[in-house]
Amino acid sequence: MIHLKSAREIERMRVAGQFVAEVLERLRAEVAVGVNLLDLEHRARQLIKDRGAVSCYWDYAPSFGSGPFRNVICLSVNDAVLHGKPHDHQLADGDLLTLDLAVTVDGWAGDAAVSVIAGTPAPADQQLIKATEEALAAGIAAAQVDNRLGDVSAAITEVGHGYGYPVNDQFGGHGIGRRMHEDPHVSNVGRAGRGLRLRPGLTFSIEPWFARTTAEISYDPDGWTIRSADGSRTAHSEHTIAVTEDGPMILTQR
């Protein structure tokens, strides 16, 4: 079921979204060669605790994972792109790290992700991140009242294919509100003019992710971490937005 949000509810979601954005920016600034993923996890835990927020990930056990998830942030390195479990790994020069965070503040959720490179960036990795950011911007721009959900998905697909990247249709964005995952599913693959009509008050995340040379995925033995099936590098960008009469509102603006 899809729940349209009032202006007041959207504002409460914006509060949560701004906190998510602030945490991601603080963690992003700490990413460097030699930093351990577990240090970033514990830093995120402390920031969430200090704010009185609640992690959407802790103890989360959806059908697509091997739950419960016992971390507060997803940290995915290089060929890992989604649901990466923080573990004892020191970032090496050139590692591509995606940070994905979702919390609730006073009962309302925000969800966002950003990819960043530790140390010396490879141009191909910079391009991969740029492509996800451009696809995210294109998807957001398409989230206009009376457009269709397929317009958002098609905009993401067009950017990915324009860079020559395959696009996976299994994992994408999602509705969000009181819970991190609500209806509708927001695929990264779609056809313009198809799907749900966008109405004011609809809130959802848009999260394009690309692997350099495949749309196929594989899972780590931990049952959570998703990687490109061929080991190619990956990147992921995400915002939570609200559809309004004045255009799309980014609730996790950094």
Q: What is the pLDDT of residue 193?
A: 98
Asked whether the beta carbons of 209 and 235 are under 8 A apart, the reply is yes
What residues pair up with 105 in beta bridges, in sequence order? 108
Q: What is the pLDDT of residue 65?
A: 83
Q: What is the pLDDT of residue 47?
A: 98
The crossing angle, in degrees rounded to 10, of helices 123-141 and 149-162 is 160
Give per-residue pLDDT as tens, 137-178. Answer: 999 999 999 999 999 999 999 999 999 999 999 999 999 999
Q: What is the pLDDT of residue 64?
A: 84
Confidence of residue 93 (pLDDT cuts 50, 70, 90): very high
Residue 246 corresponds to which amino acid?
A: D
Q: What percent of the chain has pLDDT over 90?
A: 96
7 Cβ partners below 8 Å, 6+ apart? none
Give per-residue pLDDT as tens, 17-65. Answer: 999 999 999 999 999 999 999 999 999 999 999 999 999 999 998 888 8
Asked whether the beta carbons of 109 and 16 are under 8 A apart, the reply is yes
Residue 149 φ/ψ, nearest 5 degrees: -60, -35
The region that residue 78 occupies, defined by phi over 0 for left and psi between -120 and 50 for alpha, beta otherwise, is left
